[in-house]
Amino acid sequence: MENRPAIVAVGRTKFGEHYGKEPEKLIEEAWLAASNECNIERKHLQACYMSDCFLPITNKLGLEEGFLSELTELHVPMEITRSFSAALMTACHAIQAGIYDTVLVGGIEKMSDRWDKIRDDLMLLDDPWSYYAGGTPESNHELMMRAYIQKHGIKGEELEQLKIALAQVSVKNHANAIKNKYAQFQRKISVDQVINARKYKPLGLYDFAPMSDGATTLVLTSETVANKMTNRPVFVLACGSATDYLNYSARADLSRFYAAELAMKAASQTAKVAPSELQLLELNDQSTMMEMVTLEDIGVCRPGTAWKSIYQSYKNNQLAYDVEGKQVYVNTNGGLKADGNPLGATGGAQIYEIYRQLRGEAEERQVKLPALPKYGAVVEFEGFGTKAYVSILGEKKQ
């Protein structure tokens, strides 16, 4: 990647229910944090790339750019995307093209403002026929879990282990979130709690990420600017993306996310980092099933084996997954499950975490291999695997 874009500062709010705060308060808070970190003022920003998924619906804000302009008193170009990763990718393209050298990338969501109907609204991310057939934001996750079980012929004791493995995903994410002061949930949960909450369903309350409010930001600059500002910029080595059918039932393979595979292939090729080199991952665990399946789709685990690695970590009482003798750290911030999932801002929190980890600033959560990890990857989905984004961050590879 020529003219490599670099992250020089990140900022975020706590995720959760911000009952008393308007959306602008949240984005302001996240921006101030990033601005303080790199000593950049609003006037230095040449463009803003913002993401939100539902502000037009939850808060009747249909032209978010104008709202941001008013808030910042900036008149620079601004664009809105649905996910933070999409905003980051667009910003990277602009910097690589040499159009700007300092831009703001941000994300915001205020899902709890329409608690009454947010689950119906979330179905906008699915095919309407699925909604018409009584589908819920959770149902496709459960159907994919059934498809995974069918495809890999998992039954009997193995099926029980798979169920425990999925519970372990949630238990591990909650354990990580205890060490993350911004996380929505900072409490330990047990495998039994996760399993009992499923009742008679394939997945239950503790298998799914919550509804969240929150905002995240980062300052993205060109390599030249970054080198002047910090001696430890985190480079965006690659952004890959791919798209799949909106209608999940019409996809060729119902047991996996094809778009994730394609996005990782593209990113991995550009960054010249193989999936096997990745030991630090932020995956989009909208559900525990999604974290498990994604591990396979991005080529970290072989098909049909991710649950075994996860189950092994449960047996060994470890937070990292053991993948063919190698430790793989997934969702050290608590993931969407425990850190929170304010859609448009979620990817920002994932990148925030990788940024902190790569710079050795993750405090109690710090991953050591034993050295600091060199690379980290963020996988983000829009919808149920309809759009997949993979961003690989790390040090400059010569």
Partner 1 sequence: MSSEPIERRVSYLGDRLKASRCQCCGKEYFEIRDYCSNCGRRSYGKMESIDLFYDKGILELATYINEPTNKFAKLGSFVHGIVSFHGGQIRVPARITDQLICGGKNLDLASLEGREVIPRFRRRYSVGKSDIIPTISLAFTLADEYYPYQEYKVIQPTKDYELPGIVGYGMYSSRFRFKEEAWEHAVPFTDEDSVTAAVEAGKLALIHSGLDSALIGKVYAGSESNPYAVKPIAAKVAQVLKLGKEEGDVQGVDAVDTEFACKAASSMFKDACALVSYPRSGINYAMVIGADNSQAAPRGCPGGELDQFVGYGGAAFIFGKHDVIAEVESWYSCTSDTPDFWRRDGEPHPMHGGRFTGDPAYHKHVRKAASKLMEIQNLKSSDFSYFVPHQPNPTFPIRIAKDLGFKEEQFMPAIQMTKFGNTYSGASLVGLAAVLDIAKPDQRILVTSYGSGAGSDAYVLRTTSQILDKRSRQKVTVKFLADNPFVEYVDYTTFRRLKQGM
Looking only at residues 317 through 376 of this chain, which bind partner 1 when binding is defined by CB under 8 A? none
| Phi, psi for 49 (deg, rounded to 5) | -120, 115
- Is residue 196 a contact point for partner 1 (CB under 8 A)? no
Terminal CA-to-CA distance of the chain, rounded, Å? Answer: 11
- From the CB of 149, what's the least distance to partner 1, in Å? 8
Q: Which of 39, 150, 224, 269 binds partner 1 (CB under 8 A)?
A: 150
- Applying CB under 8 A, the site for partner 1 has a residue count of 31
**Gap between the Cα atoms of 135 and 254, Å rounded:** 16
Based on CB atoms, which residue is closest to partner 1, 172 or 251? Answer: 251
Among 108, 119, 91, residue whose Cα is nearest residue 30: 108
Where does this chain touch partner 1 (CB under 8 A) — which range of 17-25, 106-114, 194-202, 296-304?
194-202
Which position has the token pair 């595979």? 261
Among 43, 98, 99, 117, binds partner 1 (CB under 8 A): 117
Binding to partner 1 (CB under 8 A) within 211-250 occurs at 247-250
Q: How far is the CB of 200 from partner 1 (least distance, A)?
A: 4
Chain center to CA of 139 = 20
Give whichever of 70 and 120 is closer to partner 1, judged by the CB atom: 120
Name which of 202 and 348 has its Cβ closer to partner 1: 202
Contact flag: residue 128 with partner 1 (CB under 8 A): yes
Query: Among 129, 190, 232, 316, which residue interacts with partner 1 (rule: CB under 8 A)?
Result: 129
| 142 in contact with partner 1 (CB under 8 A) | yes
Q: Which is nearer to partner 1, 248 or 321 (CB)?
A: 248
Nearest residue (CB) to partner 1, 99 versus 250 = 250
User: Could you say which of 43, 93, 146, 302 contacts partner 1 (CB under 8 A)?
Assistant: 146
Q: Per rule CB under 8 A, is residue 120 in the interface with partner 1? A: yes
Q: 256: Cβ–Cβ under 8 A, 6 or more apart, which residues? A: 144, 148, 293, 296, 297, 303
Cβ atoms 36, 244 nearer than 8 A: no
Smallest gap from residue 264 Cβ to partner 1 (A): 24
Q: Looking at 25-33, 135-143, 189-197, 338-346, which segment touches partner 1 (CB under 8 A)?
A: 135-143
Q: Exactly one of 85, 130, 222, 332 binds partner 1 (CB under 8 A); which one?
A: 130
Which CB, 114 or 326, lies closer to partner 1? 114
Name which position in 147, 154, 229, 372 contacts partner 1 (CB under 8 A).
147
Shortest CB 120 distance to partner 1, Å: 5
- For position 115 contacting partner 1 by CB under 8 A, the verdict is no
To partner 1, the closest distance from the beta carbon of 151 in angstroms equals 11
Rg (CA), the chain: 20
Q: Which is nearer to partner 1, 65 or 253 (CB)?
A: 253
Q: List residues binding partner 1 (CB under 8 A).
A: 116-117, 119-120, 123, 127-136, 138-139, 142-143, 146-147, 150, 199-202, 247-250, 254
